[in-house]
Each structure stands twice: as C-alpha cells, then as structure tokens.
Structure 1
Amino acid sequence: MVDVLADKRTATRFRILVEIADRQPAVSQGEVANAVGVTSQAVSEYIRELVEDGLVTKEGRSRYRVTKEGVDWLLRTSADVRRYADRVSEDVLGAVQEDAAIALGAVESGDTVTLSMRGGLLHAAPGDDGPATGVATTDADEGEEVGVTGFEGIIDLDPGEVTVYQIPSVRSGGSDAVDADRLRDAVADADLVLAAGVEAVVALRQADTEPDTAFAAGEVAAEAASRGQRVVVVAVADAIGRVTDPLRDGTANYRVTDLT
C-alpha cells in the first residue's frame, strides 16, 4: 500500500496540504477542517508541522502557501495514489469484470485460460499454465476474440517506457536539423513510433520510418506504455507539452531528449 494510505495521519496530512494548495494564500482553517473532517485545532497542528517540514510557508495571519518542496511531495504522492487506484481497478476489480482477449487456441465457454499481454493486447491460451488465468465466457477459435472473466493472478508485464525526441520547428531548421542516421537508430527497437508535428513526420520519413500515428501522440504513448510497449515519440519543440502532459498524468516512465 502506498505511504499516504498506510496510516490515517499521513492521509490527513496529504488532504490538508491539498486543501491549502487549493485555497492559498487566504486559508481558513475552519473551512479546511470541515473539508477534511477534523477539528480546527487539529488543522492548526498539522499546518504547524507542514511549515516546520518546509512544505508550507506562512506569510501572515491565515495566509499560507505550498512551497516547491510541498508541490513536489504532492505530485509524488498523487502519482503513488493513482498507481494504487489503477492496480485496484485493473487487478482487483478487473477480476469481476469481463474483457475480450485474442484466443491462442480453440476455447470453449467455461474453459480456464492463461492470460498474457502480447503487443499490448490481451491474449488467452487454453489451460492454466500461467501466473494469470481467467474463465472463458464464449467459444472461440484461434485468432478470434474470446470473452474472459474471473481473472486471477497478475499478468507478467514488463513496464513500458516512452522516449520523446525533440526536434526544432521549421523556422529553426525543422527536419533538416535532424541527424537521420541517429533517428533511424533511435526508433529501431521501438514497438510503436509516433509523431507530433509535421516536422516530426518528415524527419521520420527521411529516416525511412513511417510513424504509426501523427495524432494524439501523448495519449497514445501513455496508453501503449501502460501495456508494456516501448514507445518513441518524435515531437517538434512546440508540441512537447502536449506530448508530456498525458505522460505525466499517467504511470509511464518517460524521458525527453534533444535529437539535433
């Protein structure tokens, strides 16, 4: 369990810091107490500790601001909570849902199947040999989709990763400023190659690579990485924010590097 959910005090500390960030700089301790469900005296004590720990700064009577360190802690903790919620949703609650998988052999309704993730897609093989299993709810031949429920275990899935290569806009040299050989090597082992911006599409084509898509690159990369895919995004400098925002909101490991 993530630290913020490990004990009530840490969870309350997190919630109070969120309320301060939402209301700053004029922070009513009474309003925070009502929102969190504790006494005003307790809020005062928590705020004192947050100030001592450098997560909040006091600017005057009832005036507080979350510090850079406080923002960083909130971001890290929020990411931990999000990952925990995703695990509950996908690994725990998913066990009572029905999903579709690609059959790796003939399957009949009621059969136990072994589940695996291949190419970012769920697959089901006859039998119960794997660490993750389910029960088929439909009949299917090999290559067809099969309904699966009763999920047990955890699918063996290496975490995906995203590498975002930044290239200049056309007014700053565009694709002509990109080393085509270096770009060709960069995408060689990728499961998915995406482009954000016309300059990125042209640069990839000059490296003998056609992007899998040139639309919603950030969202596609985040989804693919969550399914264990290695993703390369080539993005014009002006589009970097639109690519990294969905990655930051998701659980993918990503890095941004310059390709010029």
Structure 2
Amino acid sequence: MVSITLLAALFKTAFINGWIVRRVLCGYNKPDMVEILRNKSFATRFQILIEIATHGPTIQQRAIAQELSITPQAVSDYISQLEGESMITYLGRSRYQITREGVNWVLKNVREVKAYFDGIDSVINGIVISPAIAEKDIKQGEQVGLKMVNGLLYATADCQTKSTGIAEADAKAGEDVGVRDIQGLIEFSYGLVAVLVVPGIAKGGSRHIDLELLKTRLKGVSHVGAIGLESVAALHRAGIEPDYLYDVSGVVIDAALHGLSSAVVCTEEDVYALVSSLKDRNIEYSLTSL
C-alpha cells in the first residue's frame, strides 16, 4: 500500500509546481490526469480526510487549515460538506472520525493516483535513455529500430519500424543496450486477460467445473495464473501447472501493459478484487464461469 502521507505530499507538490507532462514515449501515452490532481477543491477534500485519518479523532480545524495553507472557514465549509456526505462523523469537542465511506473514497483515489504516477514514472524514466535488447550486433551511434517482441523491447538494425533511436554503446546480439533520442511510437497492443471462475469449496470447488471448457479456454495460452487453492486443483485436474501463484493480479497487469495476454483461474471469492484491479488499470478482460 502506498503511504497516504506520502501521496498527500505529492499532491501538494504537484499543485505548487503545476506538474504537467506531455511527453509520448515508447508507445506509452501520458496517462489521463486524475480528478484529484485536476481539481484543487477535490484534492483539498482528500487532504482533509487524510488529516482526520492520521491525526484524529481529536484535531482542531485551525490545525488542519495551517497544515493545508487554507483558511479555518474553508476547512469548516469542507468539513460540513464531508459530514453531509457521510465521509466523516462529528463526535463533538473538535473530534472527527473518518467513516467507512470516507476510507473507501480515499483508497479509490489512492489507487487512481498511484496508477497515474506509475504511468508518469514509465514516461519520465525513459526520456533520457531506454534499455533494449540487441536483436543483432549493434555499433555505438548507429540508428536502430525499436519493436516489442514477447513483451520485451528490442533494438534492431531494421530502421523501417515506426520508432527509432540511437544506440549508446556497442552491443552483441542478446545483450542489453541503451537507446537515446527515441522518435515515434513503438507498435504494440495491450494484452488481454481471460478470467476463468471456479466455485469456492463451499459450492464444490474444482469438482464442480466444466473441465473441458477449462482446457478449451487455456489452449494456446502461454501465461496462466491461479488464485485460490480451488483454482490450483482445477488446473491440476486439467493437467496444467500454473505459471504464477503469487501477486497474480500484479503479474498479469504488468504483462498486459507489455503486450502479453494471459489467463487467470480464480475462485468466486477472489474474482471481484481481481476484476477491480484490471479495471483500475484499464486492462481489457473476459469473464467465464466454469
């Protein structure tokens, strides 16, 4: 989990500096600006909730105003709004408590901002120099083409690709090489995630699945993850060993962002969290009940 306090500091810095990034690199467009960075009022509500969550329940409105560099009256107005929207509860005598609704709203925005900053990080880190694997022997200063192969960025002597750059050093085939002065967009499409749902053990688990449907859906799939013991058992019944058992949602999301499709066999109890993670990163997915 990203530190809420750290995110609050990042929001403040972003507004002060007018942080706007307009660079397009390696096929990764600048992520859409999230509402909390676009709207100062929205961000202030967020920061007030953070102050109450981290320093409450006993906290003076004046202390919040000083921390956020706004007037006490503004804090009072925001707190009235938040209380009216059931984001916080007033306990009396300058005591406030964030509600379940408030916590869920904060965490939703934390996820959105984390995804935004992750996208910005990918862009910024690649502006100066980007690593690639040499497809063939490459000489320093040589113009190279860039392409994605199985989720990896390759530098090739073929400069007919839509994206090109300059090799920073000599490299033999298979070695990593830095590429600078990148121009154009690398051609690739985001991967898809097929989610295959297995009943929980209370409903029979892997014994109550359509085994042939599972085999059909996984035919030709190179990357298979399993969430839940029932899912592992289902795959074993099909004679398939899962490639990923831990942080499966993170793995398939990262794979999709690098152009690789995958499948996840998931229990009913875990499917909501998985699908929510995919939606948060705008990853296309299909859902099949086994």
- The answer (yes or no) to whether the contact 1:167–1:258 under 8 Å persists in 2 is no
- The answer (yes or no) to whether the contact 1:163–1:232 under 8 Å persists in 2 is yes
Aligned pair in 2 of structure 1 residues 129, 256: CA closer, same or farther (>3 Å)? closer
Count of residue pairs brought into register by the alignment: 256
Residue in structure 1 matched with residue 126 of structure 2 by the alignment: 94
Residue in structure 2 matched with residue 39 of structure 1 by the alignment: 71
After TM superposition, the score normalised by the length of structure 2 is 0.69
Residue ranges of structure 2 left out of the alignment (5+ in a row): 1-32
Q: How does 1:202-241 map to 2 (within 5 A)?
A: 202-236=233-267, 240=270
After TM superposition, the score normalised by the length of structure 1 is 0.75
- The answer (yes or no) to whether the contact 2:89–2:99 under 8 Å persists in 1 is no
Residue in structure 1 matched with residue 80 of structure 2 by the alignment: 48
Residue 113 of structure 1 and its aligned partner are, at CA, apart by 2.5
- CA-based RMSD of the aligned residues comes to 3.7
Q: How does 1:100-115 map to 2 (within 5 A)?
A: 101-115=132-146
- The answer (yes or no) to whether the contact 1:183–1:259 under 8 Å persists in 2 is no
Aligned partner of residue 50 in structure 2, secondary structure: helix
Q: How does 1:84-163 map to 2 (within 5 A)?
A: 84-99=116-131, 101-126=132-157, 128-142=159-173, 144-150=174-180, 151-163=182-194
AA matched with 1:225: A
Residue 18 of structure 1 and its aligned partner are, at CA, apart by 2.8
Q: How does 1:5-24 map to 2 (within 5 A)?
A: 5-23=37-55
Q: Structure 1, residues 83-122: CA drift from partner, whole Å, max 9, x if none?
A: 32122211123222442x2333442222233333332222
Residue in structure 2 matched with residue 59 of structure 1 by the alignment: 90
Aligned partner of residue 212 in structure 2, secondary structure: helix
Aligned pair in 2 of structure 1 residues 189, 253: CA closer, same or farther (>3 Å)? farther
Of 100, 111, 128, 1:79 maps to: 111
102-111 or 178-187, larger mean C-alpha shift: 102-111
Distance in 2 (CA, whole Å) between partners of 1:236 and 1:257 is: 12
Aligned pair in 2 of structure 1 residues 29, 211: CA closer, same or farther (>3 Å)? same
